[in-house]
Amino acid sequence: MKSYKAEELFDANGTLVAELAELAPKGDRRMGPIRTPMAAACCVILRLPDFRVHAVSVPSPGAVAAQDTLVLGKFLRDVVTLNGNAAKFRVFGPDETLSNLLGAVFEVTNRQWDGRTADNDEFLAPEGRVLDSMLSEHQCEGG
């Protein structure tokens, strides 16, 4: 962690140094204020589960063995369930959902897959809320 040289990036209060903070876009160059004419018509509020249901109680450091992505997978499963099969929520991944320990989503949905399948393929269907197995992080970068 010392190789990151955090002392050069943050001041004594933990605030990002001004030189780096100045690099952030301002005004209309930021992503947040971008609005499209159809924004009101196309934006749908997701129904989200109470995150506290998925909280892992940690009474003291090291007292619990838990894996964050396993917990996240169950949360995402519940997001899919609450929003039904409506096309308003998908799980995207450049890698394989199961190897990233998010497999709980497959309790309620499949991978969307239009290609050929083999007998040992899992969770592939013409309709599903998961898009993964692309094996290229470049496909997931915004453009």
Give the pLDDT score at 56.
94
Instruction: Please give the C-alpha separations between residue 114 and each of 17, 77, 88, 124, in angstroms, as whole numbers.
Output: 49, 22, 20, 8
Q: List the chain residues with pLDDT less than 50.
A: 143
> 100 near 134, Cβ under 8 Å?
no
Q: pLDDT value at position 82?
A: 93
The pLDDT value given to residue 143: 46
pTM recorded for the entire structure: 0.65
Note the pLDDT of residue 75.
Answer: 97
Q: What angle do CA 140, 37, 32 make, to 5 degrees?
A: 50
